[in-house]
Chain A
Amino acid sequence: MTQPTVVPTPASPTPPGGHLLEVRDLHVEFRTREGVAKVINGVSYHLDPGESLAVLGESGSGKSVTAQAIMGILDTPPAHVRSGQILYRGRDLLTQSEEQRRQVRGKEIAMIFQDALSALNPVFPVGWQIGETLRQREGMSRADARRRAAELMDLVKIPAAAKRLGDYPHQFSGGMRQRVMIAVALALNPKVLIADEPTTALDVTVQAQIMDLLAELRRDLDMAMILITHDLGVVAGVADRIAVMYAGRIVEHADVRPLYRAPAHPYTKGLLESIPRLDVRGQALSTIKGLPPNLMRIPSGCPFHPRCPYAQQVCVDEVPHDLVLGDGRTSACHFAQEVRDDSAR
């Protein structure tokens, strides 16, 4: 397989050599019977080698759809990429042929999902499933693939890996299945791992094990990771940067610590205040009023304005642009400064 050549786009404000992965002004809509749902409305983010980015959002925020667009596994139709670029090592994946994209998928960018049970085929042993990619894509022999599968299962810390190669997915517990999935994803040594709610279906103690494993693998294999989650707790432990999504936009983008210390977007602030904290007693839960918007009728101006305590007339009239707050931090709020000062108090 040929390494993709690095062709940085001239207009790109990127470091020399370019970002490893960059999503630029992506717009995706779902054309359904009921109408057109604007699922992604101008999302941009980037990822550098070895870095960990968390994409945080609730259901309907578009966090998973963005990842699916990167992987090229969107269901089209109903999904339709209206505009935007997804640059991997400077080349736009969206303009590539299906064959070229297949080369990227798995080998350069791999993905793991929330539901490991349905992502694994119930009728094949896990060893065979891990080895399958190796045989297909690397042309490995059966014996080699089997040996490598055992190594991978060992890498993801499945006890007695060699003995369990012949076991079927249902013979593994939820946490072990998630490890098998990670082993499948790692088979071709990807440079980027996208983890879509990898621990949501798991128990807390197992959740902690998997998050530790992912952090360790990232460090050891020098992999970049995009962690997609709705759980503010999970993010706090593993990510370098966070992009908070709402109604198909990134509303706040910052390094982890400043974001948790003083969120600069009312939505992030509301989210942080609405989760019960284990380490804080007798805390009153404030809520974000109302419901996430209907993506077929996204409110004018700032999509968050009907739920926002800071909303003014300008929020109804004008879409807020990303306000840069220093140290690479942005917030798409007309009153970002004010919100941050309030939260810092």
Chain B
Amino acid sequence: MTAPASPTKVRGETILSVDNLVKHFPITQGVLFRKQTGAVKAVDGVSFELRRGETLGVVGESGCGKSTLARLLMRLETPTAGRARLEGRDLFKASGSELRRLRRNMQMVMQDPYTSLNPRMTVGDIIGEPFDIHPEAAPKGSKRRRVQELLDVVGLNPEHVNRYPHQFSGGQRQRIGIARALALRPEIIVCDEPVSALDVSIQAQVINLLEQLQDEFGLSYIFIAHDLSVVRHISDRVAVMYLGKIVEIGTEQEIYERATHPYTQALLSAVPVPDPEARADRNIIRLTGDVPSPADPPSGCRFRTRCWKAQEVCATQEPHAVLRAADPHPSACHFAEVRPA
């Protein structure tokens, strides 16, 4: 394993810390003279830490900002404000060769296995591209061998280097995407909905592969998904996002068994459970209405418009994600409490 710069590798130490990350997309009007009339607050003050070797799940509904978060971390978007420290360096200030080096340490697996691979490149070229961009990552002449090793690692036939993406099924394409992300031996892989485009029977194969690779290479994952069951299965810790903010964050058990934020509770109870008998005695919370527009989020607590606990204070005072008396993990609710089973 080509060692990244960090001198020590203690499992559990903080490897990435994100501090008050903000991304506002301006809404402009006018053709010739653009005037900013507002902003979509896609990510609005997100802080978390990722520890070495762990999987941090990020769940939330569409529009909650989880995908923007991924794009920010991958430097595909420029943040409006906030800092992120990776290897002790500010990820958002890095440029040039420093950024290239940081990129080697953090890669992403994308959602759509169909659009994320260039249809005009062979699998060998796709997985080999990281080595073309970072020639120092593979000694001269070893590229082809490395590509074949990677294909083997993700469970594909190494002889298929000369095939094109469309000759593979969705699950296999996702494996190609994973191989590409692994090529530079990163320590962190951001997985943005990596299995949601796949068939049920294929999902499990890819999830198992991701878990296996984590053990094998000591990877840390940021696992973004809307499927709470999948996130529970793979995550050590979980962050729940709503309208650009993390409303609750904790260990998998804290979130799934002792959630204190009403949104998390509603989200969990809405998940269809594949067991008609268990369903009957589930106490289901039905949220009404839709997620408000991130261009014009409600004042105070953003969830208050759909919340059954909302009081006067929720409209005036924004609750912060701090430790609550109900259960010792951060929850952004004035009335945080564990829901009786």
Contact = CB atoms under 8 A, between A and B. Distances in A.
Nearest to A176: B290
A176 B290 CA distance: 9
Among B204, B272, B275, residue most surrounded by chain A Cβ atoms (within 10 Å): B272
A180 to B, nearest CB: 13
Interface residues of B, number: 44
Interface of B is mostly: helix
B275 A279 contact: yes
B200 A274 contact: yes
A230 B230 contact: no
Interface string B269-288: 01111111111000010111
Nearest to A286: B204
Interface residues of A, number: 45
B99 interface: no
A308 interface: no
B228 interface: yes
Interface of A is mostly: helix
B29 interface: no
Contacts of A283: 233
B202 A291 contact: yes
Contact of B272 (A173, A231, A271, A285): A231
Given A236-B272, A277-B273, A278-B232, A58 B284 contact: no
Contact of A206 (B203, B204, B290): B290
Nearest to A261: B277
Nearest to A276: B233
Nearest to B306: A205
Contact of A175 (B228, B229, B256, B290): B290
A204 B275 contact: no
Interface string B146-182: 0000000000000000000000010110000000000
A225 B226 CA distance: 27
A207 interface: yes
Contacts of B230: 276
B206 to A, nearest CB: 9
Contact of B200 (A236, A271, A286, A291): A271
B290 A236 contact: no
Given A260-B277, A285-B208, A207 B200 contact: no
Contacts of B287: 205, 209
Contacts of A230: 199-200
Given A203-B62, A285-B207, A270 B274 contact: no
A256 interface: yes
A188 interface: no
B204 A279 contact: no
A59 interface: yes
B201 interface: yes
Interface in B241-274: 253, 256, 266-268, 270-274
B61 interface: yes
5 contacts: A205-B61, A275-B204, A275-B229, A278-B273, A279-B273
Interface of A: 58-59, 159, 173-176, 203-209, 211-212, 230-237, 256-257, 260-261, 270-272, 274-279, 281, 283, 285-288, 291-292
Interface of B: 61-62, 169, 171-172, 199-205, 207-208, 226-230, 232-234, 253, 256, 266-268, 270-279, 284, 286-291
